[in-house]
Structure 1
Amino acid sequence: MGAGSLGGVSRREEIAANLTAVRERIDRACEAAGRSPEVISLIVITKFHPVEDIAHLVDLGVTDIGENRDQEAGAKMAELDPAVRSQLTMHFVGQLQTNKAKSVVAYADCVQSVDRPKLAGALDRAVAARAGDAGGEASLDVLLQVDLGEGEDAGRGGIPPAELTHLAETVAGTHRLRLRGLMAVAPLGLDEEGTAAAFARLADLAQEVRTTHPEATILSAGMSGDLELAVAAGATHLRVGTAILGSRPDRR
């Protein structure tokens, strides 16, 4: 695929430099937290960026990407060269309506934004239907999205912590969904101390879930602006977009 250029630097070179800088940030954060970088998975958020960028990412060693709009994500996955797609784990990280469940399970390897029992049921049925059509077994990894905001600060998506145990039990009781952990976005408007406290709360909730669901080992938290705080809190998966691909272009 062709690459654009800016000031003599190819798009691939631009992405490579940004990717190196982010990986160095992760390395430093892990050193400060006494953790190994090997336990951190980097998910590059490719929303609004073209398929060509995804091909560059794969060529640069990226194995995980994330999208949060069903229509865009489905179109990109269909457009990707099968050889490129086969090297990727595709995470759906956006808010999801139940009527989109069938569409999403057709291309996503993991849905990180399960936030209510009704959605869990819709995804389970969609995976079962897809397995039936294919004449075989199928499953879907899912994370439970937790709303870390309180009072007026709530509302960035996710289930209230008080309802988390019930949702975990619901997902664990499905036939086709595999509960793999938790995901959250830091509430808006917090300073560094507040964000660190929010991620620490998420880590505590994750530990509680793992007491009864030991397979739920993923903790997805942290983005371009706060990944260091997420690493310090024990995040296993970081969702980084802007710091690697730059500002999102206008919607196509």
Structure 2
Amino acid sequence: MRFASVAAAVLVWHLLSANDVTFWLRFNRLPGPVEVFEAFRTQLATPRYYQDVTQSLVRILSGFALASVLGIGLGVVLARSHWASDVLKPLLEIARPIPAIALVPVAILLFPTNEQGIVFITATAAFFPILVSTRHAVRALPTVWEDALLTMGASRLRVMRSVVLPGIVPGVFGGLSVGMGVAWICVISAEMISGDFGLGYRTWQAYTIVDYPNVLVGMLSIGAIGWLTSGCVELVGRRLTGWLSSEQRSAS
């Protein structure tokens, strides 16, 4: 069924573009799947395509790793410490509504290279979904779990290791999945603005020279690789939460 849905979408796209349908949307100007496939086959024969894919993946994974460490760590601290929440939460809440892509001028001023600035923007984009989901996951833990260990004489460190960290895994991976998707949106936008390599830069370059088949090649490549990376995050999450029932896993 999944393959059939994709095949049906490609068939509709082919019929609309091949027949130059112009009802509201102008499919007569959109390259068809055959043109895009030929452009994609040409791209696969060039080393530049693989360089762009590798560059975008390095930026995504670097930024996502930074966001994961900082987001999970700060999320736990903010949920467990009233003092840290009072000091840091106002600053974070002011920064959270600012779109990460709006930080491009700041990144250009702060960082000596475009590469560091793009990783910064990517990390910032993924950081807040991970932070918020982690904070909510810690606060949602049943207090009876912690109270039971404290009653038996467990230390705060033991509570953190045996109750808090295992208990927040489902909620954390929900934030990680969202963070990965947002990170892809922002890394592509940053590459279009200030990148030298990467799928976003190459897609924008194709647009500037009116090479529309390669614009769609870039878009479809971004979608496919983004889906694979998000799928990897969800797969790891399912492996680490095998103790949950299927209903609990879908709810988290």
TM-score normalised by L of structure 2? 0.25
| Larger Rg computed on CA atoms | 2
Return the structure number with greater helix share: 2
Return the structure number with greater strand share: 1
